[in-house]
Amino acid sequence: MDVNFELYKVFFYVAKYLSFSAAANELYISQSAVSQAIKQLEEKLNTKLFFRSTKHVQLSEAGTLLFTHVEQAFHFLKTGERSINELHSLDQGELKIGASDTICKYYLLPYFKQFNLLYPKIKLNITNRPSPVCVDLLKKGLVDISVVNLAAEKLYPGMTISKCKLLHDVFVASPAFAHLQSLRLVLKDIAALPILTLEKNTTTRTFLDSMFSQHNLPFEPEIQLGSVDLMIELTKIGLGISFISKEYIQKELADNQLFTLPLTTDIPPRELGIMTHDYLPVPLAAQKFIELL
């Protein structure tokens, strides 16, 4: 099927804004030209892409499916265009990175500073989302690289991964739970304690849920949070114990604000990974940043 790519371009903007007039403004063409382009595309594909009323535009099921592919292709083209423009120069451009708040604060921060000193004309565009979301951003071509918590035994088709740091997870508590410090705890003991955790859309929470599930233990967190920093603070004031990478709480452990709970069960280490897309060119700025890590 030979479809004019300009039709897909019009479709992309109508689907993005759910508005024929907004698409017309974006493309600097008339609204009637937009309507005609959509009509041609629907005829060529022999399917309805939008439901239209006097006030609303909605994607049909076929339109929604098509948009997922067109959106990805559009971002791929934009990334390729930008990569060509920046191919041999670090005198301009931007580097788009996906990483969680925690990874940025506890791992990437000094590298951001170093990169900025080396390449001051490259703009850093950092998108802070949980690791699973950062993987999806990379799949869609919305970021150049993602630095993520790698999920155990999970495959990432179409992605190249460079492992960059080991993380050692521990259960920690404040002096309010000092009576536990001299005990040898099993995971069942941990499950009976008030536990502070991250939300379910994070790799760390998935790992924790899996650990309890593998031991056939019920697990109901006391408090669920979207921030590691807040979880640390709530643990310090004694609201419960938390599950966190030891690398992120070195100061709190050294100051005796927190202590690790002695556990008989070995917790396997996890890894951070730098992820790039196999089917997208890696911009020179991204290559230079990866070299720093």
Where do the domains of the chain lie? 5-85, 94-158+272-292, 169-268
Question: Poorest-confidence range of 200-214, 229-243, 248-262?
Answer: 200-214
* Helix-helix angle 5-17:31-45, to 10 degrees: 110
- What is the predicted pLDDT for the residue at 188? 94
pTM over 0.85: no
The pLDDT-based confidence of 52 (bands split at 50, 70, 90) is confident
Q: Is 253 helix (H, G, I), strand (E, B) or coil?
A: helix
Q: Count CB neighbours of 281 within 10 A.
A: 18
Exposed, middle or buried: residue 283 (CB in 10 Å: 0-12, 13-18, 19+)?
buried
Dist CA 95 CA 104 (whole Å): 15
Evaluated on CA atoms 126, 129, 131, 136, the torsion sign reads negative
Cα distance between residue 210 and residue 62, in whole Å: 36
**pLDDT higher than threshold 80 for residue 153:** no
pLDDT for the residue numbered 281: 83
Over the stretch 95-127, which tens digit does the pLDDT of each residue have?
999 999 999 999 999 999 999 999 999 999 999
Among the residue ranges 28-42, 106-120, 231-245, the one predicted with the least confidence is 28-42
Q: Strand 241-245 to strand 195-198: parallel, antiparallel, or no bridges (unpaired)?
A: parallel
Residues 70/75/81/82 CA torsion (nearest 10 deg): 170
Kindly indicate whether the domain formed by 94-158+272-292 is annotated with CATH number 3.40.190.10. yes
CATH number of 5-85: 1.10.10.10
The mean predicted confidence, pLDDT, of the chain is 92
- DSSP, collapsed to helix, strand or coil, labels residue 258 as coil
In Å, how far are 38, 208, 267 from 83, measured between CA atoms? 30, 39, 41
Q: Pick the residue with more confidence: 120 or 152?
A: 120
pLDDT at 266 exceeding the cut of 90: no
Q: Comparing 94-158+272-292 with 169-268, is the CATH topology the same?
A: yes
Q: How many residues does the chain have?
A: 293
Residue with tokens 């927190």: 258
CATH of 169-268, one of 3.40.190.10, 3.40.50.620, 3.10.180.10, 3.30.950.10: 3.40.190.10
